[in-house]
Structure 1
Amino acid sequence: MKQPILVIGICLLSGLVPTTVRASQLPSVTTYSDVYTVGDSLVDPGNVYQLIGIPASPPYYEGRFSNGPVWAELLPERLGLTYNPSNNFAYGGSGAGDFHPTGLPLGARQQVTSLIGSDGVVDPNALYIISTGSNDLRTNTDIPNTVNNILESVNRLSDAGAKNFLVVGVPNFARLPASSGRPRLELRALRQLSASHNRLLKSSLNEASRSLDLEIDFLNLQSAFNQISRRPQAYGLDNISDACINIDVSNIPDPLPEMCSNPDRYLFWDNVHPSRKGHQLITEAALVSLGYQKKIKRVSKDDHSIKESSVSLRDQDNIQSVPESSLKFGILLSGAVVYLTLRKKKN
């Protein structure tokens, strides 16, 4: 019988060493029968909009938390599959467990329940995307609990027959437009919070992969955005730090503030969510994580053709090691200042 993989506590962080979750061979054709998704606004194709009308569209695109399709809608086609909206159970604002700001049962735990269904069996040949955790860390900074909840989703889907996973880490919260202008101490805490979560999550996924005999790939958004930020013009971007439109998705002003003149040259659409171009680049980073290509590829703004960049994410996707003293400092400090930093900017 499969044993659940849980994280005991934050004290484990200092001894974790990031390792590659899966071998990096590049298959020539997709090995998946389908793609299923659970998660938050980063992968929500308009589900929460259908319930409560958020985000307002326009300025958002047809209920997405962006100005175009989200990467979970784009990935199946890049894998040679057809995107099926009924396979996407994500809700913007949701957490890794039960949390949703509306109080409705829309968290990842409930999403997994809906995905598994009454018969308790899922397709073993499909790919299962789990993209959650940011909303949890932006409200209570409890890293072990957040990671435990993500691993619970992996365990439950595995028990139902799932074998292939793409689990998404959090971005560097300090580099979100919402964090612009914050004091240096707060930015340091946010960086440590992101790095600590990603490090613990990736190491825990490695253990789950070994113990449960699963194929688990980790999409390191922090690393992907770092690579893109070092050479933004190589990816067709001019601005990687500002929002194209400076709004809070939960409180959109009337009239709207002025929007940037060329959204496809911006990495971020609003204060926390990627732009359409950002989602296209995340799709390419996902293909790197899955082993389908060696490098993040650029999407041309004119014809959407794919052009290879010179930066390899897979070669550099391990989270950089953080000194133990800095790690502990960041965790302790995060609880004190993250509430002040990001609570104002919720999905």
Structure 2
Amino acid sequence: MTYRPLAGALALATLMLAAALPARAEDKVPIRFTLDWVYQGIHGPFLLAKEKGYFDAEGLDVTIDQGEGSAATVTRIASGTYDAGFGDINAIIQQAASAPDTAPVMVYQVYNAAPFSVLTKADSGIASIADLSGKKVGGPASAAATKLLPLLLKVNSVDPAGVEVLNMQANLQEQMLLRGEVAASLVFNVTSYVNLLSQGQDPERDFRWIDFAANGLDLYSNGVMVSRRLAAEKPEAVRGLVRAINRAMVEVAADPALGVAALTSIEPLVNADAETARMRFALARVIETDETKRLGLGDLDDARLTRAIGSIAQAYGLERHPAATDIFDRSFLPAQADRMLGGTSQ
């Protein structure tokens, strides 16, 4: 007698079982992922994707680390320290202008509108960019909002020489505005919103937010970027990364508390109510735009990106203008139906 048919059947069953099981840790693609800042509510989708096993399901071993700024994400990836991260597309534009071979590429746009705002008290008398003429405004010298102010003023026909800019530390922006030391502050609005809440202020009632995006500087901002090496050598891993993040983004957009719960599971001392408010503010202000509702999460408009590249090149004096295709690669995006707000997720 021979038992070969049985042995063959067992072997086939073993192979089928192995294919059905999640990838072992040693078989997964390792991806070092850096955030733009310390853990906050806006990072909920990344943490949720990790917690719920969405990265694992894509065969990825993703390590998420806190960051040191939106622009620093680009530096970390360009240096090879990280494979991917959440950071500012405008910093990619600057990097690509001088070092295109090492500049990361954006593969999933999150902040469809840049969160740069002029923050002022509701009773300040400042209701438009034109009202900044003759006023003192504050902002960190190295911050994007401060660097972009001269261009913002020019496109609104305001002489930059007529606006005094006071250099200040980022953690003092709201305090100095409250004390009347400046008439307005140049802020990253998703950060400043919660800073005001933490100081017992009502950011909706008592303050006015004048967004750069609504006043002539229609820029994009933070999103998911990857190294060119990872994109070239492991494109399926990048697709899996984006697919997992998009899956969590759709869920958090529907229920921000899900992302904050993932955050508090690793940072139990954060203020869950404040971080939920931050995420809701980000969704309403910089994520769920008319363009996002038309194109779906993660995508952008090429013509608009080209104009944004021109604005960044002018503001920073870049000699080379990268093409939109140098900055953003939509080939890694999931199907549009899976990226629509209120639509079907994976």
Name the TM-score class by shorter chain: 0.3 to 0.5
What TM-score do the two structures reach when normalised by structure 1?
0.33
Name which one, 1 or 2, has greater alpha-carbon Rg.
2
Larger fraction in helix = 2
Larger fraction in strand = 2
